[in-house]
Structure 1
Amino acid sequence: MHGMPRRRVVVIGAGFGGMAAALRARALGHEVTLLDRLDQLGGRGRVLEQDGFCFDAGPTVITAPFLLEELFALFDERLSDHVELRAVAPFYRISFADGRRFDYDGDPEAMRGRIAAFSPGDVAGYERLLARAARLYAVGYERYGTQPFHRLSTMLAAFPAIVRLGGHRSVAGLVASCLRDPALRRVFSLQPLLVGGHPFHTSGIYALIAHLERRWGVWFARGGTGALVAALGALMQRHGVDIQLGADVARITVSPGGRRRHVTGVALTSGRHLPADLVIANADAPALYAELLPDLAKRVWTARRLHRLDFSMGLFVLYFGTDRRFTDTAHHTIILGARWKSLLDEVFGRDAVLPDDPSLYLHRPTATDPDAAPPGQDAFYVLAPVPNLRAPIDWNRAAPILRDRILALLEARELPGLRAALRTCLWLTPRDFATDYRSLHGSGFSVAPRLTQSAWFRFHNRSEELDGLYLAGAGTHPGAGLPGVLTSAKVVERLLRAEQTLMREHQ
């Protein structure tokens, strides 16, 4: 393949970033082994089963299907031959505490009408916001999304454009400069929460998500995210990626001596050692440097520097099945409480506390795929932003309390008669994110997407600590969310291609 040197590559972590990195490395001709400590592929995108119900554990919003299509095209295949993507409409239904609702989608004319119904004077501001989001997308994603940021010169070149477009401001601040109505400001400031950010602290560059959604739409895979994971797993198997599940990495091994050390492979907790010329870590980046590298290899990402980082919020995810369908509920519903900034401050603050009035994201897949639950039944998940494990919350005690609080809120606001219809229920807390996904502090999306933790300031896709170590996933450039982690694999591929070119030139 491509006439380039063939090398042994070990990929740690079989989430979407890891699967994409494994496929891209394999397409370059490398011998690729993909490891995951869980017993199934997908990472946060795994499938949970209980009492005859199946639940997508993690991402359900697909906003850049071309990134998935590219992975199949690497091997002259088509995504559509293996997975059916269905359009979600509306993208999101936002439910306000005062009873009002706002359907958010990609239809500009319909959106103008809904905005006029809320605040006639904000239609022009909406147009300005759309134009700003499009320019941010052109710069932040199209120009720099797949650009490695391991050199400061890249950041210095990008910074003037980022500042000119408002990237130095928060998303909430940027939106407020265009819209006056408080409810509409909430609607158009929600996107940072999809990547783990506080809307009042997240860099305005992330306002590009609005354009990403409008340009490419919002989709759902028939059969759920698990069907997409299965299709990627089959693609890897067809093309020679060695997949090893239940393989927990204890540490990355490095060469002895010298000023610049090189990876030599990975040691598993089972005692096995897998030799490698290159390691791609789709593990949580802060946990990678805190737990998987020997201290002698760390010069940049020291314990002190890791401690100073701001992390994303934690997630409490409640999965439940009902014996009837709630046909009036949209696929994606965002249920907002009466409070906004003060609620976010409670979740993200240094003295974070468990909110007694959480805002919720409710996922009802049968709205788009009727076969997503048994006939006549519904399989939901509801996500509540909560403090990560830096907050002193006893989740053994707090989880049942929050479960009951959420079910009562859903019954009152969206799903009448829910508790009588309930047939099964399970949940994940930040403690589970730390245990299952090895996420430092149980954060839902790794480090928070502040400007000072983005691009060059974020974990580099090529490690500063070790030669031969590359990073993909939520904590690396360009960031969290399904488009972000899939794009991080493209950045790694770009770096591998550059390295292969250098090797070939020196042969």
Structure 2
Amino acid sequence: MNTAHPDFDKLHHANPNERAIVIGSGFGGLAAAIRLAAKGYHVTLLEKLDALGGRGYTYRQDGFTFDGGPTIVTVPELFEELWALCGKTMSSDVDLRLMNPFYRIRFDDGRIFDYSNEKSENLRQIREYNPDDARGYERYLKASEARHKVGFDLLDKPFSTLAQLMRFAPDLVRLRGDQSVYTLVSKYIKNEQLRQAVSFHPLLIGGNPFTASSLYSLISHLEVTGGVWSAMGGTGRIVEAMGNLIKGQGTDIRVNTEVDQITTAGGKVTGVRLKSGEHIAANLVISNADSAWTYKHLLSETVKRKWTERRIDKAHYSNGLFVWYFGTKKQYPDIPHHSIILGPRYKSLLTDIFKHKKPTDDFSLYLHRPTATDPSMAPEGCDAFYALVPVPHLDSGTDWTTHAETFRKAVEERLEETGLPGLSENLATSLMLTPLDFQNRLNSVKGAGFSLEPRITQSAYFRPHNKSEEVDGLYLVGAGTHPGAGMPAVLSSAKVIDNLIPAVSHVS
């Protein structure tokens, strides 16, 4: 159902200079809508799906609630800023709980590492793997902090010019941004299993630890200093609360409304044309759609100089995702909120996924059990889960219409072997999302789970800019633009455009 502001007719006929259209309601789009309304714009938020959230969409089935994708909250201050813009406090609407452990990492040989919010506990476990690596881990955390001091400060700053890139270049050289996260970790930690436990974080944002810049190691510092949080009611509760903020600002929210084209004239945005044929006029459009999808499809009628179809097709994209949402008739109390179950291979597995686009049988996966924290996500006595498996994007040629159930069964068997005995007999509900769904449902080029891969040649200045290089009045937020994927990054992308777009009173 569309949620129109009572003064919809007034908004619909507002001066195009005072109107802003936001395409897509992922966290980047929601944050952008809040920030623009706070600047005085009449905002219209357009969402293709039947509810808000984008990749953070909530699925409900047979009494179970499943977060569509994002489940890990770091830097909650970025959310709190949005509530403050509306004169409210986030804690009044969303109950965040600190995770401990952050993640349980299970290696293929059955060994466990509980990555904790307590440094002393992490060091104790590290000594059990390799006593010498305890000191190395502490040195690595200092290296992560150094990269955080540089990298995190750049999250909400635009990278639209070479001059901005050159100001950053000395720090990039000093901190060896050309090296990978895994290379940096290996400098300090020698045990291979510990290297995996400390270096996997780029996978949370669609990056390969062996090619993602070492600057992304800043995630480690973020976690140990600020914690890993989850929302009661799931990530969907945050989406719902942000939607309520937006409604309170008078924004027109239209779901089941897909944009066909961003319209332009004379190199400037003039509005959007919907699939229905309706045209909405505006001189300011913010696309939270996948950046590659925006340039390839939503601007297909506009001549482009930089982000041509050829360049988009040749770009490097993140891995795809296979996500199996399932509920069980019984509970598995020994399974924590977040688990990472690693297979027998690490580097060669990631090479197969990212480089060779080769499907594999010896996968690794992330297991989400929100009922460990919030039993309301499932009927009484039951558990809600999802298993997320990194897989190649659609360039692999995999026919997911026939392969999905075969792969789901393999995931089920793997989970039965690694902590969920009797799973097949205790299934209460099941739902799958494949790279094909990411392409067709979420409008992601090649079905990539996180848009463009965050390698150094596709980061900062080399990523599609927040202020479009193609047409005036178009801005981009979300995983496919600067600074990239992950909740802190997509929220920061909205902060970037907030700094670029003047308030209504200053619009000429």
1:311 aligns with 2:317: yes
1:167 aligns with 2:172: no
**Deviation of the 1:112 alpha carbon:** 1.1
Q: Specify the alignment match of 2:69 in structure 1.
A: 58
SS class of match (1:125): helix
The code of the aligned residue for 2:467 comes to R
TM-score (norm 1): 0.95
Correspondence for 2:58 among 30, 47, 51: 47
The code of the aligned residue for 1:189 comes to S
What is the distance in 2 between the residues matched to 1:462 and 1:6? 17
**Deviation of the 1:185 alpha carbon:** 0.4
Q: Specify the alignment match of 2:289 in structure 1.
A: 283
1:459 aligns with 2:464: yes
TM-score (norm 2): 0.95
Q: Which whole-Å deviations, capped at 9, do the CAs of 1:119-150 have from their partners, x for residues lacking one? A: 100111111110011111110012x1111001
1:185 aligns with 2:189: no
Q: Specify the alignment match of 2:141 in structure 1.
A: 130
Higher mean alpha-carbon deviation, 82-91 vs 47-56, is at 47-56
| CA root-mean-square deviation | 1.3
What is the distance in 2 between the residues matched to 1:214 and 1:274? 46
The code of the aligned residue for 1:490 comes to K
Residues 171 and 201, structure 1, Cα contact 8 Å, conserved in 2: yes
**Deviation of the 1:105 alpha carbon:** 2.0
**Deviation of the 1:430 alpha carbon:** 0.2
What is the distance in 1 between the residues matched to 2:376 and 2:293? 38
Residues 39 and 504, structure 2, Cα contact 8 Å, conserved in 1: no
What is the distance in 2 between the residues matched to 1:500 and 1:134? 39
What is the distance in 2 between the residues matched to 1:78 and 1:107? 28
What is the distance in 2 between the residues matched to 1:195 and 1:103? 21
1:8 aligns with 2:19: yes
1:402 aligns with 2:412: no
Correspondence for 1:93 among 104, 119, 130: 104
Q: Which whole-Å deviations, capped at 9, do the CAs of 1:249-297 have from their partners, x for residues lacking one? A: 0000011x4xxx1100000000100101100000000010000114443
Correspondence for 1:370 among 363, 367, 375: 375
**Deviation of the 1:370 alpha carbon:** 2.1
**1:351-370 correspondence to structure 2 within 5 Å:** 351-370=356-375
The code of the aligned residue for 2:292 comes to P
**Deviation of the 1:222 alpha carbon:** 0.6
**Deviation of the 1:6 alpha carbon:** 6.5
Residues 472 and 488, structure 1, Cα contact 8 Å, conserved in 2: yes
Q: Specify the alignment match of 2:87 in structure 1.
A: 76
SS class of match (2:121): helix
Correspondence for 1:207 among 204, 210, 217: 217
Residues 316 and 453, structure 2, Cα contact 8 Å, conserved in 1: yes
What is the distance in 1 between the residues matched to 2:149 and 2:108? 35
Q: Specify the alignment match of 2:494 in structure 1.
A: 489
Residues 461 and 472, structure 1, Cα contact 8 Å, conserved in 2: yes
Moved over 2 A (4+): 294-297
**Deviation of the 1:102 alpha carbon:** 0.2
Q: Specify the alignment match of 2:233 in structure 1.
A: 223
SS class of match (1:77): coil
Aligned residues: 493
Q: Which whole-Å deviations, capped at 9, do the CAs of 1:456-478 have from their partners, x for residues lacking one? A: 00110000000000000001111
Q: Which whole-Å deviations, capped at 9, do the CAs of 1:282-336 have from their partners, x for residues lacking one? A: 0000010000114443111011211221000000000000011100001100000
Q: Specify the alignment match of 2:13 in structure 1.
A: none
Q: Specify the alignment match of 2:11 in structure 1.
A: none
The code of the aligned residue for 2:331 comes to R
1:384 aligns with 2:389: yes
Q: Which whole-Å deviations, capped at 9, do the CAs of 1:23-69 have from their partners, x for residues lacking one? A: 00001111100001101000011111222212111100001111111
1:198 aligns with 2:208: yes
Higher mean alpha-carbon deviation, 292-301 vs 95-104, is at 292-301
SS class of match (1:297): coil
What is the distance in 1 between the residues matched to 2:357 and 2:445? 17
Correspondence for 1:341 among 347, 350, 353: 347
Residues 11 and 21, structure 1, Cα contact 8 Å, conserved in 2: yes
Q: Specify the alignment match of 1:233 in structure 2.
A: 243
**Deviation of the 1:368 alpha carbon:** 1.3
Higher mean alpha-carbon deviation, 238-247 vs 287-296, is at 287-296
Higher mean alpha-carbon deviation, 331-340 vs 302-311, is at 302-311
**Deviation of the 1:163 alpha carbon:** 2.1
Correspondence for 1:320 among 321, 326, 336: 326
Q: Specify the alignment match of 1:265 in structure 2.
A: 271
Q: Specify the alignment match of 2:482 in structure 1.
A: 477
1:28 aligns with 2:39: yes
What is the distance in 2 between the residues matched to 1:474 and 1:222? 24
What is the distance in 2 between the residues matched to 1:303 and 1:229? 33
Residues 297 and 466, structure 1, Cα contact 8 Å, conserved in 2: no
**Deviation of the 1:106 alpha carbon:** 2.3
What is the distance in 1 between the residues matched to 2:357 and 2:378? 36
1:432 aligns with 2:442: no
Correspondence for 2:418 among 413, 421, 427: 413
**Deviation of the 1:500 alpha carbon:** 6.5
The code of the aligned residue for 1:157 comes to R
List alignment gaps of at least 5 residues for structure 2: 1-15
What is the distance in 1 between the residues matched to 2:236 and 2:392? 27
What is the distance in 1 between the residues matched to 2:227 and 2:337? 14
What is the distance in 2 between the residues matched to 1:371 and 1:250? 38
Correspondence for 2:155 among 140, 145, 149: 145
SS class of match (1:102): strand
The code of the aligned residue for 1:274 comes to I
What is the distance in 2 between the residues matched to 1:270 and 1:247? 8
The code of the aligned residue for 1:405 comes to A
* Percent identity over paired residues: 50
